[in-house]
Homo-oligomer: A and B are copies of this chain.
Amino acid sequence: MQSRVLKQLRSILGIARVSVSGADRQLHAQDQSDFDQVLPDVVVWPQTTHEVSEIVQLANRFKVPVTAWGAGTSLEGNSIPVQKGIVIDFSHMDQIVDLHERDLQVTVQAGVMYKDMNAVLSEHDLFFAPDPGANASIGGMIATNAAGPHTIKYGSTNENVLALEVVLANGEIVHTGSRSIKQASGYNLTQLFAGSEGTLGLVTQATLKLEPIPRRKVTATAVFNNIMDIATAVSEIIGNGMQPAALELLDTNTAKTLMDDADVQIQSGPTLLIEFSGNTAAWMEKQMEVAQIICEEHGCINFDDSYSEEESHRIWQTRKQIRRLAVRQHPSHKWLITDVSVPISQFPEMVNFVEDSVSKLDITCNILGHAGDGNLLIGIYYKPNDRKCAERAERFKQMQVSKAIRLGGTCAGEHGIGIGKRKYMVQEHGYEAINLMKQLKDTLDPNNILNPGKIFLN
């Protein structure tokens, strides 16, 4: 890092918000994935969009890489500054700018954490629905189009974004979209930036759609003899046009881990977590009855929807911790996670393929997923020095992705591409589409300063 860049950063932000300390650089060197850490040259904490613009202008002039940092909770190395340079930490830009309560909308700075934001919104009986496990920042959620258990009902992050403020690679500040819920006014810049992992521009502010907090929720656990039966039941529930709030698949081990931690007793076995939510008890009871019938027709051996509100709450809170809990069960292992998503009719075949491959390749893993979305998340564990096992894990990941693509699905349902899935991009989208994406990148970021090394292999 040239000293004049550092000097100018300090002149923009003052000394206190520019750090080259080892500790600060270390804290911005790795996300929650297990990819190798890379320390940035400098970490900065802007407080305004104007400051972000000045930083990016400077970086563009000196061709210094710039990587945005929200909460560091990404899972594919998306926020690792692989080419070093400047990390922009958005944690000082965490304000709720404007609550438009009557419009069910909120305008926030990119650095606000979604759980913190929802805590404030809950006082108004509103919430932002996309719910990844970790307490991600809104900017990070938009960058990777994050999703979670309740996406099946409410959509993923990008479907709940109406407008953005974005700093371009040349430092220009662009406003996209509007607060109208219908927009047919020129190119959809909002959705171009959303999901682009900070490689086309840096989101500094966003206007989000909110939902009223449903007055009632009911949770059920459905225990099956095998995972395949769960997959078939889920495909049947969705194919019937039912509208659950969540349908989460857990293998035996993951279910046990979750329920033990939530202090809820259930029979051991592959488990489907079901939630319905709404304001009408009768509607939800009816839906849950139908869900039970479908589950029992497909091999469910124990269906329980008698949980208290508190127990349900604990179950869903613990579901969000599951990655942390599972990783903790495999101390001193490395891990990788897959995130394929397929059309729901193909979910049983996908699950069947995974079970087969896991057994053939002797893989140690958790099998879980946002089953209602056709989204399978396999956490794979291997000893750091066991090269063969690491190779098998990579091979499994490749096989699973290839299968998902053949079934009409994607290598990335909700974690983005980062560095972990760059190699599948051509296979999924074809050369023509990847070339087009690269042309867009070249147009918007000709010096390749914005989160370089992500999404594309070269």
In the complex, chain B residues whose CB is within 8 Å of the CB of A238: 104
Q: How far is the CB of A188 from chain B (nearest CB, A)?
A: 5
> Is A423 among interface residues, defined by CB-CB distance under 8 A?
no
> Is A102 among interface residues, defined by CB-CB distance under 8 A?
yes
Q: Return the chain B residue nearest A441 by Cβ.
A: B187
With a 10 A CB-CB cut-off, give which of A182, A194, A212, A443 has the most chain B CB atoms: A182
Decide: B184 and A200 in contact? CB cutoff 8 A: no
In the complex, chain B residues whose CB is within 8 Å of the CB of A180: 341-343, 373-375, 404, 408-410, 413
With a 10 A CB-CB cut-off, give which of A178, A241, A405, A429 has the most chain B CB atoms: A178
Decide: A189 and B437 in contact? CB cutoff 8 A: yes
> Is A315 among interface residues, defined by CB-CB distance under 8 A?
no
Which one of B188, B283, B374 contacts A191 once the chains associate, using CB atoms below 8 Å?
B188
Decide: B103 and A345 in contact? CB cutoff 8 A: yes
Decide: A187 and B182 in contact? CB cutoff 8 A: no
Decide: B280 and A241 in contact? CB cutoff 8 A: no
In the complex, chain B residues whose CB is within 8 Å of the CB of A100: 343, 345
Decide: A433 and B175 in contact? CB cutoff 8 A: yes
Interface size class of A (residues with CB under 8 A): 35 or more
> Is A432 among interface residues, defined by CB-CB distance under 8 A?
yes
> Is A311 among interface residues, defined by CB-CB distance under 8 A?
no
A344 to B105, CA, bound (A): 10
- Once A440-B443, A443-B443 are accepted as A-B contacts, the answer to whether A341 and B409 lie under 8 Å apart by CB is no
A interface with B by C-beta (< 8 Å): 100-105, 144-147, 151, 156, 158-159, 168, 172-176, 178-189, 191-192, 194-196, 200, 211-212, 235, 238-239, 241, 280, 282-283, 286, 339, 341-345, 370, 373-375, 404-405, 408-417, 421, 425, 428-430, 432-434, 436-437, 439-440, 443-444, 455
9 contacts between A and B (CB under 8 A): A103-B345, A176-B429, A180-B408, A184-B410, A186-B433, A187-B195, A189-B433, A280-B283, A280-B286
